[in-house]
């Protein structure tokens, strides 16, 4: 299992329509270093995980910057990050991984992002700027209101390399074939965004660039699914037996029976509802509780369930 880290949200702000930026710092110690193009896993308490590219300068040691689009067909992760996550909350993340590395030896680099696909391009742009390399940064979006990071880019040292292309503005149309043809010999192209957008860019770029010069990335991980067998819980102080059906959580059942636990979030992101289990084996579905707390018998009843038929709760 990949190593997980506990981070704290220091800021969250709007980048564009349905898109927010999230800034993270380490809850303890320092964040691991990352390279341009890297991403991290973001874990939610319901067992879901999704990858997000790191958008900030890799030379920064104190923070991670994410750009998160709330998609209409969201499996719940982007929706939760938009609607539930707030500054000062804790978020469990994975260590940075890079399956989209930057070739720093290229004489010129074309960085092309479709919508939120601009995020890995930003870390690459910062790295190339630090190295003093030649590059272009292109952001393609349906409209200005949907284009993320525009104001930040225009006010940054990357502004001179930045080009904005909007579907509703014919004067800003992007021509991948022309850009690749005009690029110096040996240039490399990186693209990230919706599959159809990437297919179009790569097809146009292939006119003048070889497959070895073309790089792309698209996250599309399958939804996490779980079996939810029913089970029973017992309240230690009263001996009361309660049944937890497949479609309800322990916390739901407790509330329906007049037992209310504290909570600061809808599901598994704050840890306020934790209870101790005196007997029974827990199916931990959160990624918030530290291993030592789980070893001591603590669980989050908002998300976790039982392995076997019964749990005895210290309530």
Reported as a single tens digit per residue, the pLDDT across 254-282 is 988 888 888 655 556 667 788 999 999 98
- 208 and 116 co-located in one domain: yes
With beta carbons less than 8 A apart as the criterion, state whether 81 and 48 touch: no
Average pLDDT over residues 165-188: 94
When the pLDDT of each residue in the chain is averaged and rounded to a whole number, the result is 88
Distances 224 to 35, 49, 73, 84, 160 between C-alpha atoms, Å? 28, 8, 14, 20, 42
pLDDT at 47: 64
CATH number of the domain residue 267 falls in: 3.10.20.30
Point out the domain boundary residue: 186, 217, 248: 217
Is residue 127 domain-resident? yes
CATH number of the domain residue 143 falls in: 3.40.50.80
Phi-psi region of 125 (alpha: psi -120 to 50; beta: other; left: phi over 0): alpha
The vertex-134 CA angle with 152 and 139, nearest 5°, equals 40
- 112 and 184 co-located in one domain: yes
pLDDT at 255: 86
pLDDT at 224: 39
- 301 and 246 co-located in one domain: yes
Query: Whole-angstrom Cα distance, residue 194 to residue 207?
Result: 21
Is residue 99 domain-resident? no
Is residue 100 domain-resident? no
Query: Whole-angstrom Cα distance, residue 248 to residue 40?
Result: 31
Average pLDDT over residues 137-166: 96
**Nearest partner of 68 among 104, 16, 110, judged by Cα:** 16
Point out the domain boundary residue: 60, 94, 128: 94
Is residue 225 domain-resident? no
Reported as a single tens digit per residue, the pLDDT across 299-315 is 889 888 888 789 999 99
Q: Give this prediction's pTM.
A: 0.70
Is residue 130 domain-resident? yes
With a cut of 60, say whether residue 1 has pLDDT above it.
no
- 176 and 113 co-located in one domain: yes
**Nearest partner of 81 among 8, 122, 20, judged by Cα:** 20
pLDDT at 291: 76
CATH number of the domain residue 62 falls in: 2.40.30.10
**Residue ranges making up the domain that contains 36:** 4-94
Is residue 303 domain-resident? yes
With a cut of 60, say whether residue 134 has pLDDT above it.
yes
- 138 and 206 co-located in one domain: yes
Please say whether the dihedral angle defined by the alpha carbons of residues 84, 86, 88 and 92, taken in this order, is positive or negative.
Answer: positive
Is residue 265 domain-resident? yes
Percent share of the chain, pLDDT over 90: 62
Average pLDDT over residues 192-198: 88
Q: At 48, is the pLDDT very low, low, confident or very high (cuts 50, 70, 90)? A: confident
- 114 and 204 co-located in one domain: yes
With a cut of 50, say whether residue 162 has pLDDT above it.
yes
Torsion of CA 122, 128, 132, 135, to 10 degrees: -80
With a cut of 90, say whether residue 293 has pLDDT above it.
no
**Nearest partner of 111 among 165, 69, 73, judged by Cα:** 165
- 151 and 236 co-located in one domain: no
Is residue 226 domain-resident? no
Query: Whole-angstrom Cα distance, residue 285 to residue 225?
Result: 11
pLDDT at 276: 93
pLDDT at 223: 38
More confident residue, 227 or 144: 144
Point out the domain boundary residue: 94, 119, 147: 94
- 182 and 280 co-located in one domain: no
Reported as a single tens digit per residue, the pLDDT across 10-42 is 999 999 999 999 999 999 889 999 999 999 988
Average pLDDT over residues 94-122: 94
Number of domains in the chain: 3
- 267 and 303 co-located in one domain: yes
Percent share of the chain, pLDDT over 70: 90
With a cut of 70, say whether residue 75 has pLDDT above it.
no
């Amino acid at each position: 299992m990949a190593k997980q880290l506990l981070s704290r949200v220091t800021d969250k702000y709007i980048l564009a329509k349905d898109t927010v930026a999230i800034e993270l710092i380490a809850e303890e110690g320092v964040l691991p270093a990352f390279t341009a193009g890297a991403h991290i896993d973001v874990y939610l308490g319901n067992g879901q995980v999704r990858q997000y590219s790191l958008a900030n300068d890799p030379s920064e040691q104190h923070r991670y910057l994410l750009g998160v689009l709330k998609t209409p067909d969201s499996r719940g992760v982007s929706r939760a990050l938009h609607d539930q996550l707030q500054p000062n909350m804790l978020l469990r993340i994975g260590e940075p991984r890079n399956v989209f590395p930057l070739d720093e030896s290229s004489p010129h680099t074309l960085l092309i992002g479709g919508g939120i696909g601009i995020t890995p391009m930003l870390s690459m742009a910062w790295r190339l700027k630090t190295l003093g390399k030649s590059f272009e940064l292109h952001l393609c979006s349906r409209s200005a209101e949907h284009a993320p990071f525009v104001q930040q880019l225009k006010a940054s040292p990357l502004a001179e390399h930045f080009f904005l292309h909007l579907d509703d503005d014919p004067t800003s149309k992007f021509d991948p074939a022309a850009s690749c043809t005009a690029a110096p010999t040996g240039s490399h192209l990186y693209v990230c965004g919706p599959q159809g957008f990437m297919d179009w860019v790569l097809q146009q770029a292939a006119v003048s660039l070889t497959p070895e010069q073309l790089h792309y990335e698209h996250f599309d991980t399958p939804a996490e699914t779980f079996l939810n067998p029913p089970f029973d819980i017992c309240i230690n102080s009263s001996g009361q037996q309660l049944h937890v059906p497949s479609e309800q959580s322990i916390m739901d059942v407790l509330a329906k029976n007049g037992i209310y636990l504290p909570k600061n979030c809808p599901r598994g992101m704050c840890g306020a509802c934790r209870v101790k289990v005196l007997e029974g084996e827990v199916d931990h579905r959160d990624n918030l509780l530290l291993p030592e707390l789980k070893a001591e018998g603590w669980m989050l009843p908002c998300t976790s369930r039982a392995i076997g038929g019964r749990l005895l709760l210290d309530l």
